[in-house]
């Protein structure tokens, strides 16, 4: 028989067997059956039939739920695999299948080119969950990646794109190979990327027809989806360097994300989760690689997912995608960013130009440097006026990266149209409202603590009241008849005020040596806010024209008005607002109209705001009987006490200030009745009740004892009711901490004046346990006095480090570069940069040679100054000449007092800035005499600044700060201390501290001046001549808790640095005892 006939006979017999096998495709019970099915032969139909049965067997193995059946199938498959691997150093696997694949490639049989890689992919996927197949699976994957088999992949991957049936199986097989055993052969696959990654960007780009079909059949497998799964597998299992290389293939990643919005939901979710897991959270991936992935183009593609299929009830990828972007692009704290890199050195010889120096003026006003450049670009591409979801995205970005707020609004033009309730205008207003509502970043975005320098004002203001909200725009909104627009303006202004309050609280906190910068920045911030905020008159006008029935708007506007009075009182007082009429009207409505619960709540909220205004307004008499009692009536009758906390705080303040109560702790006991007309008289009555009073007693106790006889005289039911109230009140006053002995005396007085037995019994029970507690208190006091006072002194000394707060005493440098630095620049630059001021201070040096060189250099400077073209040369020349004349009178044999050098240096800083608030006073000082008397310099400036009005209305604080800085810097030696003593500097400074004029920074500088005196051996002088210890004792009771340790430490520092023997002799030991008891 010929070979041809034999082949026909075999084919005919196999067709009969195949038909029989069709009926029992699942009855494969041995590996031999599998081997027979997959044995290579040239009959294509037979081969395809065998592969089909193998595929069905694999599917059945994976889908079988019966564990015993599944284990049996895996054993059959394992036996077949063991017979299909050669035992060589580099084993070959599945020789029959590989030969079939080779046959298909040689004969260009596309059906076999499709089914062979498909079944291989299915096999790897099936066995990937079974550890018994690990070795065989690894051997198979490595074998498939050898050169001989790579040509099969190359054949499939180089096919025309229309032959998707040839390409997709290869991609699926490669996906399974790279995923097998957690990416065990991923390196091998990437090593032959010239084949395995060929044309991936082409496969990721769908045809137009595929895009149209995508929405019709989201479950259909496409070439793009197979390519996407392959890329995702590589991103997950490849090592860091390979993954970085894939990310840097711009064409691949761009095609990967190009049409992501048209991909099915499952694919989109897989992509998003892979980005988060394999890129964002992969610590082995370099930051540079992540940045390249999240470039502008890719971010734009991801943003298109915002709002993806939003109407569907299934899981939406929107939130996940945005969270990933914000999480990666969020601002990295811990760097200085756009703030100045370091704080200028604290040298007394420098001229403090503060934030008005050339480095800071108008910096960041038109452009803001940002570290999140990509996210900044993305924010500019969004259109919040067209999509509410994009508003949410922008707000989420601003919350995570607050630096982008100022950058966004400096570049974005908004509110260009008139305020109208259109969709675009409302969308923009919603974005602004949400942005302003964002919280103030902790430490202004720094990690551990506040920066040394304040953030730029032009950046801060954009976070509080963004640039589109100009004064003109907001004023128009307030004046429109459209309620929704008016209410928007009122609400956003209120939120802005409250945010400004929080920011100012941070600015006002203690910033050490850079406090002056923060104080100056605070003033600039308030000024910029007021420039954008509507005028007070417009808000008052809106309140007056709002209908009384519109309680919502009335409440909102009243709250806004109270913000004006509390946060920017200077602006509020420019407009007259008669708050008393408003207060009476609200009280009348609460009392007479019986409003509903909702309306009453709104009126109470409005009342709270109006009372805040009344507290700030000097023209409002808060203690007027009718208004006060009406407010009390509202408080007592209110159903919701929580809404009245602000009102109660105001009432407590009024009662305490007007001597009705000794302290606010007694307020809750006395809500039912208040009233007094003779506070001084009642103070006398309190003294007569009990002479030995250890605790405070409210004057209302005296009022009760005085008025009770008149109640008894009137008789009736009122006596019993008032008596019960008095008993309850005395008990609560005792419970709130008032003196029980005085209350007992008052109780006995009331009992003696009572005739009704029932009322008398009620009063007797008011202070039932007073006698026992009084005796116990006296016993405790007696035992406590026996303890030695010396044991307290060591424990009660404050731990405050004054040197850390105020700094060490400045010392003279060793280089004296100031003698020559002024000559290295032009005259104008040397003067304005402070180099000439440094030269002047060299006259105070302790070295005679330095003083003489400084004198000669100043003389040479004067000659150059006269010949220069410096505009302000005349006043500078006059100042320098008077300084030299003063030095001539003193002589160069001894150092010039520092107050002379500092006066010249500080006056020079004023002269170079004609806009300075002290410019006129400094010129008058120079015209006074050709030379200065050192002893009179402190007295002259104290008189001209503290005892005379400032030249400009807003110059008071700047002048006083300038004076205190001069006094602090001018106190460096004992000679300076002698000058200050003769000029009574400290007595005047302490008097100024207690006046209502100084600000908190000014008071701190006065304390700095006191501490400076201890550093130059001036403590004895302050104790014996200025009564400093008594002054500290008088200040402590009125101080806030956080300031007491500073004053206590100051007292100990003064005493310890003084001549204690002299102080002891002078005071008879009373000073030591007073210092010891200050902290008690």
> pLDDT for 628-653, tens place per residue?
666 666 666 555 555 566 677 667 77
Per the CB < 8 A criterion, the answer to whether 297 and 254 are in contact is yes
Residue 605 DSSP code: H
Q: Give the mean model confidence (pLDDT) for residues 394-414.
A: 85
Residue 331 host element (H or E): none
Q: Give the mean model confidence (pLDDT) for residues 187-199.
A: 93
Radius of gyration of the chain (CA): 44
> Mean pLDDT over all residues of the chain?
81
Q: Predicted confidence band at 905 (pLDDT cuts at 50, 70, 90)?
A: very high
Residue 88 has pLDDT above 70, yes or no: yes
Q: Please report how many Cα atoms fall inside a 13 Å half-sphere around the Cα of residue 376, on the Cβ side.
A: 19
Neighbours of 725 (CB within 10 A): 15
Strand partners, 93: 85
Mapping DSSP onto H, E and C, the string for 220-261 reads CCCHHHHHHHHHHHHHHHCCHHHHHHHHHCHHHHHHHHHCHH
Q: Predicted confidence band at 176 (pLDDT cuts at 50, 70, 90)?
A: very high
Q: How far is 336 from 453, CA to CA, in rounded Å?
A: 10
Q: Name the range with the highest mean pLDDT among 135-139, 300-304, 401-405, 732-736.
A: 135-139
Specify the pLDDT at position 317: 59
Specify the pLDDT at position 276: 86
Of 444, 485, 493, 487, the closest CA to residue 466 belongs to 493
Domain positions in the chain: 199-212+224-312+320-329, 360-534, 658-775, 806-1005, 1018-1080
Specify the pLDDT at position 394: 85
Q: How far is 554 from 551, CA to CA, in rounded Å?
A: 5
Specify the pLDDT at position 363: 59
Q: Predicted confidence band at 19 (pLDDT cuts at 50, 70, 90)?
A: very low
DSSP characters for 724-784? HHHHHHHHHHHHTT--HHHHHHHHHHHHHT---HHHHHHHHGGGTTHHHHHHHHHHHHHHH
Q: Give the mean model confidence (pLDDT) for residues 351-362.
A: 46
Q: Which pair of tokens denotes residue 720?
A: 């019993």
- The residue count of the chain comes to 1080
DSSP characters for 1045-1067? HHHHHHHHHHHHTS-HHHHHHHH
Q: How far is 488 from 468, CA to CA, in rounded Å?
A: 14
Over the stretch 411-440, which tens digit does the pLDDT of each residue have?
888 877 778 888 888 888 999 999 999 998
Q: Write down the pTM of the prediction.
A: 0.53
Residue 306 DSSP code: T
Residue 904 has pLDDT above 90, yes or no: yes
Q: How far is 745 from 749, CA to CA, in rounded Å?
A: 6
Residue 40 host element (H or E): none
Q: Which pair of tokens denotes residue 1054?
A: 């003064």
Of 200, 268, 269, the closest CA to residue 234 belongs to 200
Per the CB < 8 A criterion, the answer to whether 565 and 612 are in contact is yes
Over the stretch 358-391, which tens digit does the pLDDT of each residue have?
345 455 666 777 777 777 888 888 888 877 777 8
* Residue-wise burial string across 837-859, b where 16 or more C-beta atoms lie within 10 A, e elsewhere: bbbbbbbbbeeeebbebbbebbe
Q: Give the mean model confidence (pLDDT) for residues 12-19.
A: 40
Which of 35-44, 207-216, 739-748, 1018-1027 comes out lowest in average pLDDT?
207-216
Residue 1055 has pLDDT above 50, yes or no: yes
Q: Give the mean model confidence (pLDDT) for residues 90-107.
A: 91
Q: Predicted confidence band at 1 (pLDDT cuts at 50, 70, 90)?
A: very low
DSSP characters for 370-434? -S-HHHHHHHHH--TTT-HHHHHHHHHHHHH-THHHHHHHHH-----S-----HHHHHHHHHHHH
Per the CB < 8 A criterion, the answer to whether 263 and 211 are in contact is no
Category of 160 on φ-ψ map: left (φ > 0), alpha (ψ -120 to 50) or beta:
beta
Q: Predicted confidence band at 18 (pLDDT cuts at 50, 70, 90)?
A: very low
- Residue whose tokens read 């006083």: 960
Between 122 and 870, the more confident residue is 122
* Residue-wise burial string across 495-530, b where 16 or more C-beta atoms lie within 10 A, e elsewhere: bbbbbbeebbebbeeebeebbbbbbbbbebbbebbb
Q: Predicted confidence band at 664 (pLDDT cuts at 50, 70, 90)?
A: low
Specify the pLDDT at position 871: 83
Where do runs of H (alpha helix) occur along 437-550?
A: 457-464, 471-479, 483-508, 515-532, 536-545
Between 246 and 1065, the more confident residue is 246
What percent of the chain has pLDDT above 90? Answer: 32
Q: Give the mean model confidence (pLDDT) for residues 471-482.
A: 91
Q: How far is 412 from 431, CA to CA, in rounded Å?
A: 12
Instruction: Give me the phi and psi of 169, to 5 degrees please.
Output: -60, -40
Q: Give the mean model confidence (pLDDT) for residues 427-455.
A: 86
Q: Predicted confidence band at 319 (pLDDT cuts at 50, 70, 90)?
A: low
Specify the pLDDT at position 29: 82
Between 685 and 413, the more confident residue is 413
Q: How far is 479 from 495, CA to CA, in rounded Å?
A: 19
Q: Give the mean model confidence (pLDDT) for residues 142-160.
A: 92
- Residue whose tokens read 């991801």: 302
- In Å, how far from its chain's centre is CA 233? 40
Q: Give the mean model confidence (pLDDT) for residues 57-61.
A: 90
What percent of the chain has pLDDT above 70? Answer: 80
Q: Give the mean model confidence (pLDDT) for residues 599-617.
A: 82
Residue 772 has pLDDT above 50, yes or no: no
DSSP characters for 338-382? TS-SSPPP--TTS---GGGSTTTTTTTSS----S-HHHHHHHHH-
Specify the pLDDT at position 14: 42
Mapping DSSP onto H, E and C, the string for 660-716 reads CCCCHHHHHHHCCCCCCCCHHHHHHHHHHHCCCCCCCCCCHHHHHHHHHHHHHHHCC
Which of 243-247, 691-695, 967-971 comes out lowest in average pLDDT?
691-695
Q: Which are the contacts of 852, defined by CB distance < 8 A and separation ≥ 6?
A: 892
Specify the pLDDT at position 297: 85
Q: Which pair of tokens denotes residue 432?
A: 């602004």
- The secondary structure of the chain in percent helix, strand, coil, rounded to multiples of 5, reads 70, 0, 30
Specify the pLDDT at position 112: 92
Of 571, 454, 470, the closest CA to residue 516 belongs to 454
3-state secondary structure of 85: strand
Specify the pLDDT at position 659: 63
Q: Predicted confidence band at 327 (pLDDT cuts at 50, 70, 90)?
A: low
Over the stretch 778-799, which tens digit does the pLDDT of each residue have?
444 444 333 333 333 333 444 5
């Amino acid at each position: 028989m010929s070979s041809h006939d034999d082949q026909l006979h075999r084919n005919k017999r196999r067709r009969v067997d195949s038909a029989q096998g069709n009926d029992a495709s699942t009855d494969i019970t041995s590996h031999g059956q599998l081997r027979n099915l997959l044995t290579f032969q040239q009959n294509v139909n037979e081969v395809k039939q065998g592969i089909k049965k193998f595929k069905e067997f694999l599917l059945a193995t994976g889908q079988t739920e019966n564990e015993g059946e599944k284990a049996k199938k895996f054993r059959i498959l394992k036996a077949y695999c063991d017979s299909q691997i050669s035992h060589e150093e580099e084993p070959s696997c599945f020789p029959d299948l590989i030969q079939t694949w080779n046959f298909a490639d040689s004969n260009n049989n596309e059906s076999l080119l499709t089914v062979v890689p498909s079944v291989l992919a299915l096999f790897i996927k099936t066995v990937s969950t079974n550890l018994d197949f690990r070795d065989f699976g690894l051997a198979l994957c490595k074998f498939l990646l050898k050169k001989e088999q790579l040509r099969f992949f190359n054949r499939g991957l180089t096919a025309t794109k229309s032959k998707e049936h040839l390409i997709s199986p290869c991609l699926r097989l490669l996906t399974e190979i790279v995923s097998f055993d957690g990416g065990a052969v991923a390196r091998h696959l990437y090593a032959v990327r010239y084949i395995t990654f060929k044309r991936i960007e082409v496969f990721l780009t769908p045809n137009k027809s595929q895009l149209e079909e995508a929405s019709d059949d989201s479950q259909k497998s496409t070439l793009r989806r197979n390519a996407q799964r392959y890329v995702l597998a590589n991103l997950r299992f490849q090592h860091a360097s390979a993954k970085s290389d894939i990310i840097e293939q711009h064409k691949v990643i761009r095609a990967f994300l190009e049409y992501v919005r048209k991909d099915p939901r499952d694919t989109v979710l897989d992509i998003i989760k892979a980005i988060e897991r394999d890129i964002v959270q992969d610590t082995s991936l370099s930051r540079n690689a992540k940045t390249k992935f999240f470039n502008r183009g890719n971010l734009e593609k991801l943003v298109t997912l915002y709002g993806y299929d939003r109407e569907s009830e299934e899981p939406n990828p929107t939130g996940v995608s945005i969270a990933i972007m914000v999480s990666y692009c969020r601002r990295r704290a811990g760097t200085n960013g756009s703030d100045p890199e370091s704080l200028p050195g604290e040298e007394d010889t420098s001229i403090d130009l503060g934030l008005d120096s050339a480095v800071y003026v108008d910096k960041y006003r038109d452009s803001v440097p940002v570290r999140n450049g990509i996210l900044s670009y993305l924010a500019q591409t969004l259109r919040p006026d067209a999509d509410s979801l994009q508003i949410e995205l922008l707000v989420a970005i601003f919350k995570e990266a607050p630096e982008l707020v100022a950058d966004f609004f400096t570049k974005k033009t908004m509110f260009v149209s008139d305020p109208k309730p259109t969709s675009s205008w409302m969308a923009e207003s919603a974005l602004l409202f949400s942005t302003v509502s964002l919280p103030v970043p902790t430490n202004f975005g720094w990690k551990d603590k506040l920066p040394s320098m304040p953030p730029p004002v032009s950046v801060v203001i954009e976070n509080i009241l963004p640039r589109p909200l100009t004064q003109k725009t907001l004023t128009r909104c307030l004046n429109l008849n459209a309620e929704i627009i008016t209410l928007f303006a009122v609400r956003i202004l209120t939120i802005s005020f409250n945010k400004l309050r929080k920011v100012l609280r941070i600015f006002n906190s203690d910033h050490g040596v850079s406090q002056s910068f923060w104080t100056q920045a605070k003033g600039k911030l308030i000024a910029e806010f007021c420039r954008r905020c509507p005028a007070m008159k417009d808000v008052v006008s809106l309140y007056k024209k709002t209908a009384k029935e519109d309680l919502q708007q009335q409440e909102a506007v009243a709250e806004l008005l109270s913000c004006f009075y509390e946060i920017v009182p200077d602006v509020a007082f420019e407009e007259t607002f008669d708050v008393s009429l408003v207060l009476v009207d609200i009280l009348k409505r609460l009392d007479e109209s019986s409003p509903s619960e909702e309306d009453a709540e709104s009126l109470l909220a409005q009342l709270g705001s109006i009372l805040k205004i009344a507290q700030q307004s000097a023209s409002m008499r808060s203690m007027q009987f009718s208004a006060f009692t009406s407010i009390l009536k509202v408080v007592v009758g209110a159903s919701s006490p929580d809404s009245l906390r602000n009102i109660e705080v105001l009432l407590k303040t009024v009662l305490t200030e007007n001597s009705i109560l000794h302290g606010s702790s007694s307020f809750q006991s006395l809500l039912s009745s208040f009233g007094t007309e003779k506070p001084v008289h009642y103070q006398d009555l309190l003294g007569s009740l009990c002479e030995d009073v250890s605790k405070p007693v409210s004057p209302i106790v005296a009022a009760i004892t005085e008025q009770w006889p008149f109640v008894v005289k009137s008789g009736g039911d009122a006596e019993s009711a008032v008596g019960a109230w008095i008993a309850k009140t005395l008990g609560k006053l005792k419970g709130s901490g008032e003196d029980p002995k005085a209350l007992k005396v008052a109780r006995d007085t009331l009992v003696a004046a009572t005739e009704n037995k029932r009322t008398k019994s009620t009063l007797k029970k008011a202070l039932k346990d007073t006698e026992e507690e009084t005796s116990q208190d006296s016993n405790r006091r007696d035992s406590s006095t026996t303890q030695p006072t010396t044991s307290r002194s060591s424990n009660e000394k404050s731990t405050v480090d004054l040197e850390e707060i105020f700094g060490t005493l400045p010392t003279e440098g060793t280089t004296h570069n100031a003698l020559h630095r002024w000559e290295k620049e032009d005259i104008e630059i040397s003067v304005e940069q402070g180099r000439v001021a440094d030269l002047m201070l060299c006259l105070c040096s302790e070295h005679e040679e330095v003083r003489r060189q400084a004198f000669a250099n100043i003389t040479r400077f004067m000659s150059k100054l006269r010949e220069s073209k410096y505009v302000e040369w005349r006043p500078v020349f006059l100042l320098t000449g008077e300084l030299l004349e003063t030095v001539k009178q003193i002589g160069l044999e001894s150092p010039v007092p520092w107050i002379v050098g500092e006066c010249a240096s500080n006056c020079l800083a004023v002269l170079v800035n004609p806009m300075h608030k002290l410019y006129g006073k400094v010129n008058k000082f120079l015209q006074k005499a050709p030379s200065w008397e050192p002893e009179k310099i402190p007295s002259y400036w104290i008189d001209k600044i503290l005892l005379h009005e400032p030249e400009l209305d807003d110059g008071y604080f700047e002048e006083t700060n300038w004076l205190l800085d001069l006094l602090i810097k001018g106190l460096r030696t004992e000679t300076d201390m002698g000058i200050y003593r003769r000029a009574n500097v400290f007595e005047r400074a302490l008097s100024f501290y207690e006046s209502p004029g100084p600000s908190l920074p000014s008071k701190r500088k006065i304390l700095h001046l006191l501490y400076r005196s201890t550093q130059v051996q001036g403590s004895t002088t302050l104790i014996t001549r200025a009564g400093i210890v008594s002054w500290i004792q008088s200040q402590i009771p009125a101080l806030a808790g956080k300031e007491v340790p500073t004053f206590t430490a100051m007292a100990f520092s003064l005493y310890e640095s003084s001549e204690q023997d002299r102080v002891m002799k002078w005071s008879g030991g009373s000073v030591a005892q007073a210092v010891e008891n200050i902290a008690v």
